[in-house]
Amino acid sequence: MKNIAVLTMVRNDDFFLRKWVEYYGRELGKENLYIYYDGEDQTIADFCQGTNAFLHPKIGTQVVAAEKARLKFLSERAAELFAKGYDLVIGVDADEYIVVDPKLGIGLKEYLSQQNIDVSLSPLGLDFGQKLGEEGDLSHDSTFLSQRHYAQIGTRYTKPSIIAEPCRWGSGFHRIKGHNFHIATNLYLMHFGYSDSKILESRLADADRVAQGWEKHIYKRSRTIRLVTEQKAHDFDRWTCFARNCQTFCRPIYAFNKPAMFELKIVVKIPERFANVL
């Protein structure tokens, strides 16, 4: 089995970080989790016990500059983890969870140990929303995937999150500078950050986020809730296969190391086999 680390940087996001620690701790071992709190004014949560959690001086005050600095910092930490002997390093936000299709019957560590990764590996991105009128508030009382059943297949979340050597992630982990990407089969990056209307409201009420310039970004991404509520959901296996092929061969003209999908907005319903995974 390969030695795999996962890292993130977080600020004011304990709700999703709790699930992050629970999920990746189970899949990879808590001792291989590296969490950097953005700002020494925060407190390391009790549920981080057993992980490698650190307070770090706050990085920047405006979203664009801060995001570039954040990914530079995390790329440097990933390089240090390779120097410590890790075979792979995963970089994700606290509301992102890389999941193996349960039809394979194996976990994340076993799956990644079987992959021959040159520089990076990208899961297919799924951006979860909340189907209003059908799905209630997201809670930790049961698995996320038993509470959320609809997602947009999104190029934005098909990220080169898994790396096999030191390199430089671009903002948001969306690309690796100087390298192409390879989309894995049966592997998904599930983003839950905009999957709950109440959590979105709390983020918009967070003066710290607003001061950094996140308000416009949050409003824009909240469209996922409207999309999954109003649009018909399609077959998961058929359309994720289509999306994987499409994103593999299509590129936006402004960035050839990012995936594209003709601006298609495809909503899929997550199969029941995923319900207990996350």
Question: For the segment 49-72, what is each residue's pLDDT rounded down to a tens digit?
Answer: 999 999 999 986 666 788 889 999
pLDDT at 212: 60
pLDDT tens column, 166-219: 999 988 899 998 888 899 999 999 999 989 988 887 766 665 655 565 556 555
Query: Comparing C-alpha atoms, which of 75, 1, 7, 16 is closest to residue 202?
Result: 16
**Residue 220 to residues 31, 136, 171, Cα–Cα distance (Å):** 36, 22, 17
pLDDT tens column, 228-239: 999 999 999 999
Round to whole Å and give the CA distance between 93 and 116.
24
pLDDT at 213: 54
The answer to whether the predicted template modeling score (pTM) of the entire model surpasses 0.85 is yes
The pLDDT-based confidence of 224 (bands split at 50, 70, 90) is very high
| Strand 120-128 to 183-191 pairing | parallel
pLDDT at 146: 98
Structural domain including 206 reads 4-274
Is residue 214 within 8 Å of 64, Cβ to Cβ? Answer: no
Round to whole Å and give the CA distance between 26 and 90.
15
Q: What is the mean pLDDT of residues 73-88?
A: 98
Q: What is the mean pLDDT of residues 28-44?
A: 96
pLDDT at 223: 87
pLDDT at 83 over 70: yes
pLDDT at 236: 98
Task: Provide the percentage of residues in the chain whose pLDDT is more than 70.
Answer: 92
Backbone φ and ψ for 51, nearest 5 degrees, come out as -95, 180
Q: Which residue has the higher pLDDT, 199 or 244?
A: 244
Query: Comparing C-alpha atoms, which of 159, 185, 277, 181 is closest to residue 237?
Result: 185
**Residue 29 to residues 4, 11, 32, Cα–Cα distance (Å):** 9, 23, 6
Q: Average pLDDT over the chain, rounded to whole?
A: 92
Structural domain count of the chain: 1
pLDDT at 183: 96
pLDDT at 77 over 60: yes
Query: Comparing C-alpha atoms, which of 44, 6, 224 is closest to residue 129?
Result: 224
Query: Comparing C-alpha atoms, which of 225, 226, 10, 16 is closest to residue 128?
Result: 225
pLDDT tens column, 94-136: 999 999 999 999 999 999 999 999 999 999 999 999 999 999 9
Q: Which residue has the higher pLDDT, 267 or 257?
A: 267
The pLDDT-based confidence of 15 (bands split at 50, 70, 90) is very high
pLDDT at 22: 98
The token duo for 152 is 């947009």
pLDDT at 72: 94
Cα radius of gyration (the chain):
18
pLDDT at 273: 98
Q: Enumerate the β-bridge partners of residue 89.
A: 5, 163
pLDDT at 131: 96
Round to whole Å and give the CA distance between 175 and 75.
12
Q: Provide the greatest CA pair distance for the chain.
A: 50
pLDDT tens column, 128-162: 999 999 999 999 999 999 999 999 998 999 999 99
